[in-house]
Amino acid sequence: MNPTMRTAPTSRSRAVAGAVAFLALAVAFAAGCGSGTDDPAESAKPTGPARSAEPTSHPTQDHSISAEVGERFTLTFEENASTREHWYLADPKPDASVVRSQGQKSESDSGDEPVPGAGSGLTFTFEATGEGSTEIVLTHCTFAAPCDGSGTSSPEPSSTASASATPSRPERVTYTVTVS
């Protein structure tokens, strides 16, 4: 081949060059898009409530919780399904304009490998949504104080059941949350 001759670009090299040009144009366009305001301080403001990466863990023995709007916090309890010990978010639910439930997560005490009979830590996560005060009510159900899957006490035993077999009521634990 003659060193002074050039070959015409192939269709593949043209396609790659076109894709690179399109990508460069898209990046330049995105960089030029702002908040629609000429005030740099205004465009730097966050658009939603501030959320910390890691929720604050509150001790369960402290029944008074203070939080700031946008803050996420958790309450963690030990439970064991094999002994019928469970925790539930009960009624009345917290005022959603002050605190909103973000769900719950269970982690086995035995680590990655499930072990029959092992307990677990159940973590309830909440987010402070607005200023005010509300209550979070949790029900602690056990073998001796059973309840249904929503944390409501099981129906009273029939009158034919002996007095010694009467289960006790599940424990209700109330947390007062103040958001500022």
Does 24 or 98 have the greater pLDDT score? 98
3-state SS class at 178: strand
pLDDT value of position 149: 62
Answering whether pTM is above 0.75, one says no
pLDDT value of position 150: 60
> Is there a contact between 128 and 71 (Cβ–Cβ < 8 Å)?
yes
pLDDT > 70: percent of the chain: 59
Encoding tokens for residue 134? 């509300």
pLDDT value of position 44: 39
Beta bridge partners of 112: none
Give tens-digit pLDDT for 107-147: 988 777 767 888 899 999 999 999 999 999 999 999 899 88
> Is there a contact between 89 and 123 (Cβ–Cβ < 8 Å)?
no
| 15, pLDDT greater than 60 | no
> Is there a contact between 78 and 133 (Cβ–Cβ < 8 Å)?
no
pLDDT value of position 113: 73
Amino acid at 176: T
pLDDT value of position 23: 41
Domains parsed from the chain with CATH numbers: 56-154+167-179 (2.60.40.2020)
Nearest to 67 by CA among 133, 122, 124: 133
In angstroms, the first-to-last Cα distance of the chain is: 79
Segment 78-86 mean pLDDT: 90
Nearest to 176 by CA among 140, 137, 141, 139: 137
Encoding tokens for residue 2? 């003659």
**In the predicted model, what is the mean pLDDT of the chain?**
74
Give the CA distances from residue 178 to residues 49, 54, 76, 136, in Å, rounded to whole numbers and listed in that order: 17, 20, 19, 11
Give tens-digit pLDDT for 52-78: 468 898 888 889 999 999 999 999 999
Please, how many CA atoms are within 13 Å of residue 107, restricted to the half-sphere of its CB?
Answer: 7
| 92, pLDDT greater than 60 | yes
